[in-house]
Amino acid sequence: MTTDDSRAGGRPHRPVLRDPAAMAAVPGPDPVLREEVAHTTAAALVRAGRQAQDPDVVARLVALVETEGLDVVAELWSDSPAGTLPGALWRLYLLREWVVRDPQVVADRYRQGVAAAPVHDAVAGVVSPPGPADVRAVADAVLSGVYTGDLAVALERAAAFCQVLATGTAFDADHLDVLDPGAARRTTRGAASLVRTAEELAEAAHLWRADRLV
């Protein structure tokens, strides 16, 4: 994973996934190679963002899925365990992708969940009451924190955000129970998945602080 800063004026251009992505996309790759590629690209991405100290570079890293495609990022990191750097990054990017694709639903579920979730609103970092643009701004800020601040804090903010959304999603499932039991079951599974993701991100933050998130 590289950044091309050799063009006119030395202005950095967006990160481009090159050889690692091609390696990960080879049919039936060696699992050991896939793991190596995942860890190498994740570490390179975080290092590039932290070393650049350039808001434009950080903005491009935050928008990685939009520029490279979810399938490319998934090929690199989606098989990585939660307690690894690529696994944590995959969960952060996947969370942001949901917010980008369905900000109104995310905002509605946040509003429902924030009063009851066992997380202080300031930790999740969303204004009250939130709109679609507000939840998108938080998702962007969380990912920006990976490259510009304390990665553990970014992971904790994402965990809090997921916990609030899990509670709101569970409320949505309750509302659907009579009208559409099938949708209610799917929504309940979604709430459980968000709880699991919140726990995984919180554990990743702990591992980063212990210098064991690699």
| Average pLDDT value over all residues in the chain | 85
15 inside domain: yes
DSSP helix/strand/coil, 2: strand
Q: How much of the chain is helix, strand and coil, in % rounded to 5? A: 75, 0, 25
| Contact in structure between 189 and 172 (CB atoms under 8 Å) | no
Q: How far apart (Å, rounded) are the C-alpha atoms in residues 88 and 105?
A: 23
* pTM of the predicted model over 0.85: no
Write out pLDDT tens, residues 65-85: 999 999 999 999 999 999 999
Question: Does residue 193 form part of some domain?
Answer: yes
Cβ atoms of 23 and 33 closer than 8 Å: yes
2 domain-assigned: no
Residue 180 resides in a domain = yes
Q: pLDDT tens digits for 93-146? A: 999 999 999 999 999 999 999 888 767 665 666 777 889 999 999 999 999 999
Residue 18 falls within a domain, yes or no?
A: yes
Q: Which amino acid is at 65?
A: V
Q: What is the mean pLDDT of residues 171-196?
A: 93
As for how many domains the chain has, the answer is: 1
Which residue segment(s) compose the domain that 112 sits in?
8-209
Query: Are residues 103 and 132 in contact, defined by beta-carbon separation less than 8 angstroms?
Result: yes
Domain membership of residue 214 (yes or no) is no
Contact 43, 37 (CB under 8 A): no
Distances (CA, A) of 168 to 12, 118, 154, 191, 212: 40, 12, 21, 8, 32
Q: 18-63: per-residue pLDDT in tens?
A: 333 443 444 456 888 999 999 999 999 999 999 988 999 999 999 9
